[in-house]
Amino acid sequence: MDEIDLKILAALQQAPDLSQRELAERVSLSQNACWRRLRKLEESGVIVGRSLRLDRSALGLDLIVFAMLRTRSHSADWLEKFRRHVATIPEVIDFYRISGDYDYMLKIAARDMASYDRVYQRLIEKVELDNVTSYFAMEAIFDNRPLPLR
């Protein structure tokens, strides 16, 4: 990964729908050379893929909640069971294990409070949780910005 690769990534982060021709132009390379670099970035896994950005509001997902969880049990078995359980809840869109006075951070997209409460009930039904703190998003100032390269 050299300078040019970083330029390619930066350009595509900023404008993912660039055509090969436009991209090549921006990084001052022939279309073909640029295409081969892009292919390598994909094959090597630096580019994991693409994703669709949807307007949550337009889909009625107006409630974003950050739930911090403290767990009681920590056996390997329990953790595995917990993960599989969380994975079955589609409203959970991010799921991080963290350090500090909580063990997990979940980002949840729900239609409304009633819908969130159902997610919450599902979260606690199967597993023994010590503490759940929910932070409700009042406003997404920004979300999923380009990663800082270099």
Taking CB within 5 to 8 Å according to partner kind, which of DNA, a second copy, none is near residue 94? a second copy
Q: Which of 7, 12, 34, 116 binds a second copy (CB under 8 A)?
A: 12
Interface map 17-56 toward DNA (x if CB under 7 A): --xxxx------xxxxx-xxx-x-----------------
- Please say which residue, 20 or 133, places its beta carbon nearer to DNA: 20
Cα gap 22→32, rounded to integer Å: 12
Q: How far is CA 84 from CA 1, 23, 88, 116, 126, in A?
A: 36, 40, 7, 19, 11
Cα gap 131→100, rounded to integer Å: 13
Q: How far is the CB of 33 from a second copy (least distance, A)?
A: 20
Q: How far is the CB of 111 from a second copy (least distance, A)?
A: 9
Q: Which of 105, 127, 129, 132 binds a second copy (CB under 8 A)?
A: 105
How many binding residues for a second copy (CB under 8 A)? 59
Site residues for a second copy, 36-55, by CB under 8 A, read 44-55
The secondary structure element, H or E, covering residue 32 is helix 31-43
Q: How far is the CB of 90 from DNA (least distance, A)?
A: 26
CB atoms within 10 A of CB 144: 8
Short-list 42, 11, 43, CA closest to 27: 11
14 binds DNA (CB under 7 A): no
Short-list 132, 134, 136, 135, CA closest to 69: 132
Tell me the CB-side half-sphere exposure of residue 14, using CA atoms within 13 A: 11
Site residues (CB under 7 A) for DNA? 4, 19-22, 29-33, 35-37, 39
